[in-house]
Amino acid sequence: MNLTDLTIAAARDGLRVRQFTARELTEAHLAAIATLNPRLNAYITVTGERALAQADAADAALARGEFAPLTGIPLAIKDLFCTEGVRTTAGSRILDPFIPPYESTVSANLLRDGAVFLGKSNMDEFAMGSSNMTSGYGAVTNPWQRRQDTTAVLVPGGSSGGSAAAVSARMAMGATGTDTGGSIRQPASFCGVPGVKPTYGRCSRWGVVAFASSLDHPGPFARTVRDCAILLGSMAGHDPKDSTSADVPVPDFEAACRRDVKGLRIGVPREYRMDGMPDDIERLWQQGLGWLRDAGAEIIDVSLPHTKYGLTTYYIVAPAEASSNLARYDGVRFGLRENGEDLRDLYERTRASGFGAEVRRRVLIGTYVLSAGYYDAYYLRAQKVRALILRDFTEVFARVDALVTPTAPSAAFAQGENMDDPIKMYLNDVFTVPANMAGVPGMSVPGGLDANGLPLGLQVIGKPFDEETVFAVGAALERAAGFDALPQIRAGG
């Protein structure tokens, strides 16, 4: 048995009957990291000794008959989540020396439920990017390769590219991510794994390094929809330390994966049909709708008329919030410090040295749109358009139970492609951004391969706090697709 090929559900069952130990499971994944991480760069920090200690504690708990939901399950933690005593960089050199004295709520919840942390996964700097090329710790390589051109090094998507690549390559059984404009769903699509962005407020943001506070959504990656449901069940919950955390019950997401979709009304937004969209993606979309129709769902054409403004609105709101959030990185209180002749010089040298080009670009954009004379023209107007986008979703969800769309407008592209044009890079988020603007849940499910043998994802979008229907539809698509393709670069491959 190759332990790195197990799903979380299967590993959980095996651990409980002592078919193998948590230490053996952890050692198998640490061995995979040792072999593959020099090639994929999916982890910034590997915490091997700590992981083995946690695995031993899990084995001791299992021997006492104590079974928490994730006891002994090895996970990767996106390096945006503060982890007590373990360096947390947010993919930025400005936080290179930062070791948090506290644990984020989401990671604390996972530890409470017995999870084993393998290390901190690589990411775009401060979660700003769609390729994982902006990381201060080097680019992540997608474990998938093109059939016709195996020499091309593909991006895993971003910003949670390290998490998606680690799960896809069998270097972790699951992982945390964050999604501000598509940063879970797009890399999930590029790497051929499921990924979930829950409703805004479902998972606490406390202890998560902020990018855009009104848009950031923590969520999970895993190898199956069911595994994502298991992880989200542990990650979610009300947190009084986060003023935006929703005080709503956490349902049994895993049970929702077994629900029938017969009778569900599935909306198809006409605005998601883009000019020039690859035939492979259009074909998969239609196939996915056909699978749901065959399962008894009703397919309904709907309109989200303000979708076309989603991306431009996002690139006003998100940089504005980033400009405010990143003001704290000044070299005085924590993180990198460059010496200066006076305080202002210290600020300027520290931020110039610590921030990469993409972060500087977005901070400048955000500062501009918040400046006197432009606040009303840009930021205030963008917030009004955001309200219209939410209204579109509210009106559509009065008619349908969920929406199904493509996740991304392309399969994974090669490092260097599209990189010289920031606008072209921002278009990677065109299908995912509207759900962030509205705060509604979304999931990417691998549905098939394109002509180059690269994975393509289908996106399920649901009503606020109705992740159960999202999981039901996602699981139905997963069963129908029967997606069992594996990346070329993986443990045991």
Q: What residue type is assigned to position 270 of the chain? A: R
Phi then psi for residue 222, to 5 deg, are: -160, -175
Mean pLDDT of the chain: 96
Q: Give domain 3-261+464-481's CATH number out of 3.40.640.10, 1.10.10.10, 3.90.1300.10, 3.30.450.20.
A: 3.90.1300.10
Question: How many whole angstroms separate alpha carbon 233 and alpha carbon 218?
Answer: 13
Assess whether 189 carries a catalytic annotation. no
Q: Round to whole Å and give the CA distance between 468 and 229.
A: 9
pLDDT digits (tens, 9 = 90+) for 106-127: 999 999 999 999 999 999 999 9
Q: Which of 159, 160, 189, 444 is catalytic?
A: 159
Per residue, the 3-state secondary structure of the chain, as one string, reads CCHHHCCHHHHHHHHHCCCCCHHHHHHHHHHHHHHHHHHHCCEEEECHHHHHHHHHHHHHHHHCCCCCCCCCCEEEEECCECECCECCCCCCHHHCCCCCCCCCHHHHHHHHCCCEEEEEECCCHHHCCCCCCCCCCCCCCCCCCCCCCCCCCECCCCCCHHHHHHHHCCCCCEEEEEECCCCCHHHHHHHCCCEEECCCCCCCCCCECCCCCCCCEEEEEECCHHHHHHHHHHHCCCCCCCCCCCCCCCCCHHHHCCCCCCCCEEEEEHHHCCCCCCHHHHHHHHHHHHHHHHCCCEEEEECCHHHHHHHHHHHHHHHHHHHHHHHHCCCCCCCCCCCCCCHHHHHHHHHHHHCCHHHHHHHHHHHHHHCCCCHHHHHHHHHHHHHHHHHHHHHHCCCCCEEEEECCCCCCCECCCCCCCHHHHHHHHCCCHHHHHHCCCEEEEEEEECCCCCEEEEEEEECCCCHHHHHHHHHHHHHHHCCCCCCCCCCCC
pLDDT above 70 coverage of the chain, percent: 98
**Residue 220 forms beta bridges with which residues?**
176
* Predicted local confidence at residue 274, as pLDDT: 79
Question: Can 160 be counted among the known catalytic residues?
Answer: no
Question: Of residues 183, 189, 204, 323, which has the active-site annotation?
Answer: 183
Residue 425: which pLDDT band, with cuts at 50, 70 and 90? low
Cross-strand partners of 116: 74
Question: Has this prediction a pTM greater than 0.95?
Answer: yes
Domain spans of the chain, in order of start: 3-261+464-481
Q: How wide is the angle at C-alpha 264 spanned by C-alphas 262 and 265, nearest 5°?
A: 140
- What digits encode the pLDDT tens for the residues 152-177? 999 999 999 999 999 999 999 999 99
The predicted-structure confidence for 41-86, as pLDDT tens digits, reads as follows 999 999 999 999 999 999 999 999 999 999 999 999 999 999 999 9
159 is catalytic: yes
> Predicted confidence band at 1 (pLDDT cuts at 50, 70, 90)?
confident
Q: Are 148 and 49 in contact (CB under 8 A)?
A: no
